[in-house]
Structure 1
Amino acid sequence: MLGVRQGKSPHELATTSRDGTTDILSDSGGCIIGIDFGRTKCEAAIVNDDGSVALIPLELQSPATCFSLPSFVSLGVPRTGEWEVGKRAVSRAKAGHPYTVYDLTMLLGQKVASLSPQDVNHWPFTIRAGVAGKVLVECPRKLQSPDFVYPEQIAAMLLSTIKQRAETFTGKIVTGAVVTVPAAYNRTQCQALRDACSIAALNVDQLIVSSTASAVANSKSVTDATVIVEKTILVVDCGAGSLNVTLASVNSNGNGNGAEVEVTAAATAGDLKTGGEILTDQLFEHFLQESTTTDVNSRTTPAFSRRLRRACTLAQRILSTSLQVSIDVPPLQLRRGSRDLVTNNLSLPGFTSAISRSEFDSLCGVETWNRLPYTVEQVLKLAQVKKEDVDAVLVTGGAMQVPKFRKVLGDCFVEHWNRIEDLPEHTAAIGAALVAQFSGCVLVNESTPLALGIRSSGGDSLVVVPPSTRIPTRQSRVYYASVQNEIAFDILEGIAGPEQEHTGNTGTSPNKLEHCLGRVLIDGRRASAPLILKLEITFEVDKAGSLVVLISDSSNHRVTHLQVRGDETCLSTEAVALAQAHMSEVLKSSIAADPGSERKPSQGLMALPDSCPIDTLRAYVEKLKLMVLMNDFGVCVLPGDLFMLQTRIENASTWLEQLDTNQQGSQDSIQTAQEYLRQIRTLHLSSTASSALVQLRQELDLHT
């Protein structure tokens, strides 16, 4: 049952002041919510005490659409707690604010080299490569804080807002969440989302594929509670930024009270290159090229691009119900000093054009439309289920309102088109909430969307865990290698199976998602076998999705153990803790400050008074940690220097923690510590300068 709390409307409850809920929060137990974290919007829900599901109002500026929070974050906003989210941030993006960040699901867990140049060019915010090529986002420089932040920190701002508004709505402290993810997310991206939740003080109970969450939300509607029944459903969730497909079996025990409905995800697959925003990109590039044929200078300004993209977004929605749409971008008068002013001309000419639905379908191309049926066929093949055995095809997501997507899906089930049904809105958030507050009514058995395996340095691949394997699981394979001094294996996710390699489908597949999670080295010098080494490779995946790799050498009974979180771009535990402490300080200061007075600066980023020398030194060590971890200068320090810096900082931190703050230590000890920290800072500056000089020489060589 989907409902809201009695007495007040959801919007009224959401706008309740924090002062009115302080006592309630202190006396109530914690709760776990479900969050649908999407590319363009976020939604949240909770299961009430009576078993009904309540959507949580997140957007306080719009009562009509209060259940959806736009996934936009504006950084460096004065007098509002350092950031704004939702529609206020959208308004800043429309005005050309250079520090408004969106498309967060595309930035999490990514390297700059893996981003699409087309996406990077149309983003108004600036990104830069950090350590290991990790994406960093530019933010306004404030005092001694870095001018680049991780995408995880920006996502945490969004999640923290969701957490606060959920607490206001429920009157309880939100301690954890079940969060939806795209099926095509790799482990690095999932870990980045987990880190973002940790920074926002949210414990992630489970990550669940959005289409699987929708299957859970509608499990009772497709079964009869009075009889024992098993039904097979296919959920197609195509939103703004991803396509997710889940084939699930729904079992009812028939006891008549609706309890014990078991949902088992038999197969899951996804595509990050299919969705409404991808269609808008095609439309935008088409009209941008058409407009620049008449006036290149005016048409390439950021202001014109922003306005044209908004017009294309609206046009794409209109084409879902109309056969033709007109594009009308009116002229614009710029102000002097505007960042959008690229010439001395203060006026931007308008632009008018039109496109029909058939032209739009041809513009996007056959490959774009075929991604959906390909993914559906892939899921059916993995689950070994025939189309006629599917009892219901449930579709959700804004992009599924596009007629061409509906047509290609109908062509997949041409003989069973009457089984295609539309799901109501917010189903992913509702399903996540049901999983979060499991009370015996719904059971969920998840599967691994992507295959897991290894690849040797010689190029030999081995799939250990096939795609859509139910978790928890423990899978083992035997690998024979020639005896060498050192044997290296890359741990891969999304690796192609033997049938794909045999048929050559890997190159033509639109879903090539192979991703290296790390490397493990085996010492072959102590092998007892003279020529051939027999290795047993075991992958263990628990119910939470954690991966452990074990490689056993049968000749000498040695076992190599490796816990895999993600690739080298994953944040360290220290970086997450520092980001969490920073956010906590900002939230505390924003709550404590008077609305009419100027907000106090975050004490976590400022030096402490000299009345407590040890605490001052400890604060300085924390600042050094932050500068090194956040790559403050934007220059990739050599790995050896980086390791030395981190080691010395850790030694200084450990030594200072052993000192008693009350005794304050001897003057000699304090002077020694100050000199040691000064040497670390000097090493940091010199290493950065040397690396910058090397990079500068490389760039000069490229241009000569």
Structure 2
Amino acid sequence: MSVVGVDLGTLNTVIAVARNRGVDVITNEVSNRATPSLVGFGPKSRYIGEAAKNQEISNLKNTVSSLTRLAGRSLNDPDVQIEKDFVSAPLVDINGQVGAEVTYLGNKERFTATQLVAMFLTKVKATASAELKLPVSDVVLSCPAWFTDIQRRSLLDASEIAGLKCLRLINDTTATALGYGITKLDLPGPEEKPRRVCFIDIGHSNYTCTIVEFKKGELAVKSTAWDRHFGGRNFDKAMVDHFAKEFKEKYKIDINENAKARFRVATGCEKVKKILSANSAAPLNIESVMNDVDVRGMLKRDELEELVRPLLDRATAPIEQALAEAKLKTEDIDAIEMTGGCTRVPSLKTAIQNFFGKPLSFTLNQDEAVARGCAFSCAILSPVFRVRDFSIHDMVNYPIEFTWEKSPDIPDEDTSLTVFNKGNVMPSTKILTFYRKQPFDLEAKYAKPEQLPGKMNPWIGRFSVKGVKADAKDDFMICKLKARLNLHGILNVESGYYVEEQEVEEPIPETPKEGEKKDGDAMDVDSKDAAEKPKTRKVKKQARKGDLPLSAGTASMDEASKNAAAERESQMIMEDKLVADTEHQKNELESFIYELKEKIIGVYAEFSSEDEKSKLQAKLETIEDWLYEDGEDATKNIYTSKIEEIRSVAGPIIQRYNDKIEEQRQAVLEKQQQAAMAKQAELERQKRAAEEQKKAEAPLEANDEEMKDADTVKPDDIEEPSA
């Protein structure tokens, strides 16, 4: 059983596994430790991860990025409109969800964001399985802290479609905090002041600041704040806009009119940004960017800082908000841990360091900290590993309220209640009590929609409570509902039951009268009430009597849709595999032709007649011509049959060559065996000679011993003189 943690990033995804008494980040098929979070579609198959990256520039309209930022959203959401600047494939509405319209296998197809995430997760699953040489099922996935219920459900649905069991959906910075704290052996004890650490994660598209308190064996998230549109891609966009303006003036071309040209400039700007992290200036050179025009540019670090000034002015806003919500000051923070690729930008580091007035800490791997934390979380939840006890107390980021219809029998009843407040510990369970005579419904929604990311629907779910009726006395049924915000950050009404009030007798605790024995008295005092029974009172207590059936309507996919999506995904996986196998067989045929062409005039020459040579060469020429003319898009079976055709002609020649090689090998082996036997015989002869030599010398040694005994005077031989 495998234990896998996945950092689902906007730009790249990192996979970590628990093994060898620790956590390792695994590499993909091209030995990279991070896999591009991309899904592309082609005329024969899909391209996922590295393959999608390799063909992105030539297939922009069919390559989808920003997968997690699209999950669980609608097309008219302002955040999705912003994503259109970064996603090259056209975004469309699919039954209220955002999706992408692409050309796949020659046809126009539409896939929802959930399906696209599932496609990428199948690649993650395959990469982890190939590395571990084990089937992968259990994972822990990361997501931004600002994700809502519908976005989290989308990721869980995607993992199910991909055939993965998500043990936990964990917030990015919470995962980082877990990876930081679980390895620390010097955390304060339960009664000591906690260690407060500020985790700042600035990645490709998100900026999150989380303040965490650590004690031995536990972490508690005190506050989290974010800027959803602050990251590396925003720095890149500022540079692209700058160069677009410069090239328009200098070269009279507008890269905004050409998607490929803008993409190539964006790729160049990303490299320039990285160079400027360690240098004062960097060049940008792109050949034939559009209209056969070569462009050149130069950018200095101070010019870049001016371009991103609006971003830098917002650099400390999430930190200020997080500190205010945690009711802390900068001096209360013991350490500031920086993660995320964008934290390498010098001006950003300077702004944050100046705000705190103390050095920043970079003890964690900036690109892999989240994935490592996810792997630790997976190990904690998995029965396979024994992990040091470490509890995680995350927090509720948006207040959640329940609303219901007013009961006709209770005219002054409130119809809403905020059950989970912002800052409450998560996971968390609350029991709701209702007095009803008939079945009823209640709805869960976010209490403050203005706090949600973009313009998201605050609705979470509708829950119907069945089997409610008045009792024999026409009194209310007391209904109890168990509402739980689970470790994924998802709300459900998990169960319902009804109770009845019963009168029971319980003893009344008596206060001792003056003169009576109290605890600790040294002697007994006689009391006339000692033999009396203890006083009791009747009290009403609730006893559980039965369950109430529940039905729920949430943003999760229904089972039929999920099964259909999983079946479609399996079908596409088989198509991808067939294409990969066909390509492999085609390469086998091509390399077989070249190999035989070389060997027929080389090592096979002496094992074939002139007639056999000419027949084989003619066959090779014929199949090679077919391969490069009509055989470009043949099936796997045809390539296999062509290999067999060649083997039928070349087989006798290859067999004679192999027989000769085997004969030579046997001769060498026989020679080696004879040499070994001769060596063994020589060793036996030397051994016998040594033994004979030893026997010849043995009598002389015995005589020497006898002489020694004769010359030696022993104490027993000396007699005492008589008196």
The one-letter code matched in structure 2 to 1:301 is N
Residues 2 and 134 in structure 2, CA contact (< 8 A), matched pair in contact too: yes
Look up the equivalent residue of 1:302 and give its one-letter code: A
Offset of residue 127 of structure 1:
1.6
Change (3 A) 1:490 1:272: farther
Return the match for 2:395 from 440, 443, 448.
Answer: 448
Match of 1:279 in 2: 235
Q: Which residue of 1 aligns with 2:702?
A: none
Alignment check: 8 A CA contact 2:43 2:103 kept: no
| 1:291 maps onto 2:247 in alignment | yes
Show the counterpart of 2:90: 126
Q: TM-score, normalised by structure 2?
A: 0.62
**1:299 CA drift (Å):** 5.4
Residue 685 of structure 2 corresponds to none
> CA separation in 2, counterparts of 1:128 and 1:151?
10
Instruction: Give, as a single letter, the amino acid of the residue that structure 1 aligns with 2:364.
Output: L
Confirm or deny that 1:587 pairs with 2:573.
yes
Q: Please give the residue correspondences for 1:651-662 in structure 2 after superposition, counting only pairs within 5 Å.
A: none
Q: Unaligned 5+ residue runs, structure 1?
A: 1-29, 253-260, 334-346, 480-486, 497-505, 528-534, 602-704
Q: In the alignment, is the contact (CA less than 8 A) between 1:180 and 1:207 conserved in 2?
A: yes
**Length, aligned pairs only:** 513
Matched, 1:360 2:290: no
1:34 to 2:5 alignment:
yes
C-alpha spacing 1:582/1:182, structure 2 compared with 1 (3 Å): same
The structural deviation recorded for 1:69 is 0.6
Select 1:52's aligned residue among 22, 40, 62. 22
Give the Å deviation of 1:33. Answer: 0.6
Higher relative contact order (CA 8 A, sep 6+): 1
1:392 aligns with 2:335: yes
The residue identity in structure 2 corresponding to 1:112 is: L
User: Which residue identity is paired with 2:181?
Assistant: S
CA distance in 2, matches of 1:42, 1:275: 16
Q: What is the identity, as a one-letter code, of the residue corresponding to 1:149?
A: F
- Distance in 2 (CA, whole Å) between partners of 1:513 and 1:551 is 31
Conserved 8 A contact 1:269-1:449: no
Residue type of the alignment partner of 2:448: I
Name stretches of at least 5 consecutive residues in structure 2 with no aligned partner: 381-385, 405-414, 435-439, 471-478, 502-547, 587-633, 638-723
C-alpha contact (below 8 Å) 2:48/2:120 kept by paired residues: yes
Residues 569-601 of structure 1: CA deviation (Å, up to 9, x unaligned): x53332221111122233346557564276799
Q: Measured at CA, do residues 87 and 232 of structure 1 come closer, stay the same or move farther in structure 2, by a change above 3 Å?
A: same
**C-alpha separation in 2, matches of 1:119 and 1:369:** 21
Match of 2:513 in 1: none
Mapped partners of 2:481, 2:354: distance in 1: 42
Tell me what 2:325 maps to.
382
Match of 1:627 in 2: none
What residue number does 1:105 align with? 68
Closer, same or farther: CA 102–589 of 1 in aligned 2, 3 Å:
closer
Corresponding residue number in structure 2 for 1:267: 223
Residue of structure 2 aligned with 1:159, choices 116, 121, 124: 121
Q: Is the 8 A contact 1:392 1:421 kept in 2?
A: no
Q: Which amino acid aligns with 1:274?
A: F
Q: CA deviation at 1:160?
A: 1.0
Q: CA 1:241–1:122 in 2, change beyond 3 Å: closer, same or farther?
A: closer
Q: Percent identity?
A: 19
Q: Give the one of 473, 486, 496 matched to 1:542.
A: 486
Deviations 1:29-83 (A, max 9, x none): x2231001100111111111x421121212x22x3xx2111112211352xxx22
- The Cα of 1:355 is off from its aligned counterpart by 3.4
Question: Which of 596, 605, 622 matches 2:585?
Answer: 596
Residues 448 and 402 of structure 1, relative CA distance in 2, 3 Å threshold: same
Counting only pairs closer than 5 Å after superposition, residues 315-330 of structure 1 correspond to structure 2 as: 315-330=272-287
- Secondary structure, aligned partner of 1:580: helix
- Larger Rg belongs to: 2
The answer to whether the Cα contact below 8 Å between 1:547 and 1:563 also exists between their aligned partners in 2 is no
Alpha carbons 1:550, 1:560 under 8 Å: kept: no
1:662-677 correspondence to structure 2 within 5 Å: none
Structure 1 residues 140 and 371 mapped into 2: Cα distance closer, same or farther (>3 Å)? same
User: Which amino acid is 1:169 matched to?
Assistant: E
Q: What CA distance in whole angstroms lies between the structure 2 residues aligned with 1:165 and 1:208? A: 21
Q: Please report how far the alpha carbon of residue 198 of structure 1 lies from its aligned counterpart in structure 2 after TM superposition.
A: 1.0
Matches of 2:117 and 2:205 in 1, distance apart? Answer: 16
Q: 1:544 to 1:550 in 2, by over 3 A?
A: closer
- SS state of the match for residue 56, structure 2? helix
Inter-partner Cα distance in structure 2 for 1:317 and 1:232: 31
Report 1:136-535 matches (<5 A). Answer: 136-142=99-105, 147-224=109-186, 230-252=194-216, 261-293=217-249, 295=252, 300-332=257-289, 347-366=291-310, 368-414=311-357, 417-418=358-359, 420-424=361-365, 425-438=367-380, 439-454=386-401, 463-474=418-429, 491-493=444-446, 495=448, 515-518=457-460
TM-score (norm 1): 0.64
- Are 1:495 and 1:514, in contact at CA under 8 Å, matched by a contact in 2? no
Task: Please say if residues 244 and 255 of structure 2, whose CA atoms lie closer than 8 Å, have aligned partners that are also in contact.
Answer: no
Change (3 A) 1:510 1:493: closer
1:238 Cα deviation after fit: 1.0
Distance (Å, rounded) in 1 between the aligned partners of 2:166 and 2:22: 22
| SS across alignment from 2:166 | strand
Alignment-derived partner of residue 86 in structure 1: 49
In the TM superposition, what is the alpha-carbon distance from 1:491 to its structure 2 partner? 4.5
Alignment of 1:532-681 (within 5 A): 540-548=484-492, 563=552, 565-566=554-555, 570-588=556-574, 591=577, 595-596=584-585
Change (3 A) 1:312 1:426: same
1:170, 1:142 → 2: CA distance?
Answer: 32
Partner of 2:647: none
Change (3 A) 1:374 1:514: farther
How many angstroms does 1:382 deviate by? 2.8
Alpha-carbon distance in structure 1 between the residues aligned to 2:111 and 2:16: 29
Aligned counterparts of 1:461 and 1:407: Cα–Cα separation in 2: 47
Distance 1:549 1:393 in 2: 38
Q: Alpha-carbon deviation of 1:429?
A: 0.8
Alpha-carbon separation, structure 2, partners of 1:122 and 1:456:
38
